[in-house]
Amino acid sequence: MVRVLIIGATGYMGSALASSLLRSGHYTVYGLARTEKKARQLAADEVIPVVAEDPAKTPQPVLDAIQAAHIDVVVLCGADDGAHEVLKAVIEAGKQRLRENAAGGAGNLRLGFVYTSGSWVHGSSRVAVTDLELAGQKTSRNPPARLVAWRTGMEQAVLAAHDVLDVLVVRPGLVYGRSHAIWTSFFNPVLAAAATSTPETAVQIPLDERARPGLIHVDDCASGMHAAIDKLPLLKGTGVYPVFDLISQSESMRDIFDAFAASIGFKGSVQLVGHGDDAFAEAMSVTTNNASARARMLLGWEPKRRPFVDGMDAYGPAFAAAQ
C-alpha cells in the first residue's frame, strides 16, 4: 500500500482526492488536521489524521508523521499560506530519507511531493497555452493573475527540489461541483434573491461576462491528481516535464450565470459588471485556453463529469442545498 499524506485533506479538493485514493484500494491516506474537530472528521472518513495547528510555523508534526508512518508521497493541496515553509520541511524529510537509504537501512524509496497550483498562473489569454510554458517567466506570453503571481515562484521551487524529491505540479482549472466552494461569494447573491425575484429584479456580480474560464469538476480534479500520484514514480528520470494542467472545458461566464439563475428559479437578470480592482474577482475572470492534452496522454486522465453549463440542472440545486 502506498502511503500518502495530504496537506489540505479537509478542504474542497483535498477531501475529494482522499476519497478517490481510498476507493482505489491501493493507498493508505493520512490527512493534516489543524484542530481536533477536523481530525475527527478525517477519521470518520477513514483518513488517518495528523494534527498540526500551523505546519508552516511548526512543521515538526509533519516531519514526524512522514518518518513514523513511512509516507511515500506528500500532496500540498489548497494550502497557500506557508507553502514555501511546508516545502522546506518536506525537503528536509526527503534528505533524511536519502541518508537512510545511503546508510543501507530499510528506508523507503525517494519521497514524492505533488504541489497543487492552478491554471490562473497562465493569466488570461484567448491564444492557446500549454503546460510546457514556463508560467511567470520573462518568456511567458501573459502575466499570471495578481492573486496567484507568487505561485509561479513556488512552482519553480518545487521543480528545483528534484534532486531530493520526486516532484510534480498539477494546475487545476476553476473547480465546480457540489458545494462549488470557490463560486460561493458570486452565486450567493443570486440565490438570496431567487425566492422573491421578479422579472425586474437585477443582481450585480463583479465578474467579466466576456470571460471564458477553464473549468474542471471536483471529481475530475481528484481523478487527475490521483493519476498524477499513480504516475509519479514512473515519470522520474524520463525527461518528462512534470507539470500538468487539468482543464476539461472552457465556458462563457455569461452562460454559467444564466444557467445557474435558471436552475434555482431566479426570475430577474444577473448583471456581470466587471471585476474592478478586486484581485479575487479578477482571477475568477481569467480566460483560459488549454485542452490539457499532456495530462490526457501522459497521465491517462480522462474527465467524466458533465460540463458546468450542461449539468447545471444538478449543479445549481446542489449549491443551493449546500448553503
Supply the DSSP string of 162-173, one letter for each residue.
GGTSEEEEEEE-
Give yes or no: residues 104 and 152 share one domain. Answer: yes
Give yes or no: residues 202 and 171 share one domain. Answer: no
pLDDT for 143 = 86
Give yes or no: residues 7 and 71 share one domain. Answer: yes
For the chain, how far is it from start to end, CA to CA, in angstroms?
37
Residue 31's DSSP bridge partners are 6, 49
Residue 223 domain boundaries? 2-176+214-246
Give yes or no: residues 201 and 230 share one domain. Answer: no
The pTM (predicted TM-score) of the whole model is 0.94
Q: Which residues of the chain have pLDDT under 50?
A: none
Q: Give the C-alpha separation, 82 to 92, whole Å.
A: 16
Give yes or no: residues 204 and 270 share one domain. Answer: yes
pLDDT for 105 = 58
Give yes or no: residues 190 and 125 share one domain. Answer: no
- Tens digits of residue pLDDT in 242-290: 999 999 999 999 999 999 999 999 999 999 999 999 999 999 999 988 8
- Tens digits of residue pLDDT in 126-161: 778 888 887 766 666 788 899 999 999 999 999 999
CATH of the domain at 120: 3.40.50.720
Give yes or no: residues 113 and 196 share one domain. Answer: no
Q: Give the C-alpha separation, 162 to 155, whole Å.
A: 12
pLDDT for 108 = 53
Give yes or no: residues 86 and 235 share one domain. Answer: yes
pLDDT for 79 = 61
Q: Give the C-alpha separation, 216 to 220, whole Å.
A: 6
Give yes or no: residues 144 and 242 share one domain. Answer: yes
The residues, ordered by sequence, that sit 6+ positions from 129 with a Cβ below 8 Å of its Cβ are 122, 141, 142, 288, 289, 290
Give yes or no: residues 145 and 185 share one domain. Answer: no
Give yes or no: residues 227 and 283 share one domain. Answer: no
Give yes or no: residues 132 and 274 share one domain. Answer: no
Domain count for the chain: 2
